[in-house]
Amino acid sequence: MKILNISLDKDVIDKNSAVAQRMIEYGRLVDKFTILILADENKEISLSDKVKVIAIKKSFCKIYNFLRLKKQAKNILKKEQHEVITVQDIYFLGWLAVKLVRKFKIGLEVQVHGFEKFWGIRKMLAKYVLKNADSIRAVSQRLRQKMVQEFGVAEEKITVAPIYVDIAKSTGLPLRQLADRNDSKFIFLTVGRLVPVKNIKMQIDAMKNIVAKNSNVELWIVGDGELSQKLKVQSQKSDVGDKIKFLGWQDDIEKYYSQADAFLLTSNSEGWGMAVVEAAQFGLPIIITDVGLAGEVIKDSEGGIVIPVEDQEELEKAMIKIIEDKNLREKLGNGACEAIKKLPTKEETLELYKQSWTKALKR
The answer for residues whose C-beta is within 8 angstroms of residue 113's C-beta and 6 or more apart is: 88, 139, 163, 271, 272
Q: What does the alpha-carbon distance between residue 147 and residue 174 come to, in Å, rounded to a whole number?
A: 34
State the average pLDDT for the chain. Answer: 92
DSSP SS3 for 17 = coil
Provide the percentage of residues in the chain whose pLDDT is more than 70.
94
pTM over 0.75: yes
Q: Is the confidence at residue 171, as pLDDT, over 60?
A: no
Type of residue numbered 87: V
* Beta strand residue intervals within the chain, DSSP E: 2-6, 32-39, 43-46, 51-57, 84-87, 107-112, 135-138, 158-160, 186-191, 217-222, 244-248, 262-265, 286-289, 304-307
2-164+344-362 and 175-340 have identical folds: yes
Question: In sequence order, which residues have a C-beta less than 8 Å from that of residue 82 and are 6 or more positions away?
Answer: 2, 3, 4, 32, 34, 76, 104, 106
Fold entry, domain 2-164+344-362: Rossmann fold (3.40.50)
* Structure confidence by residue, pLDDT tens digits, 293-345: 999 999 999 999 999 999 999 999 999 999 999 999 999 999 999 999 899 98
Identify the CATH number of the domain defined by range 175-340. Answer: 3.40.50.2000
Write down the pLDDT at residue 167: 59
* Angstrom distance (rounded) from CA 98 to CA 75: 16
Domain ranges of the chain: 2-164+344-362, 175-340
Q: φ, ψ for residue 133 (rounded to 5)?
A: -75, 145
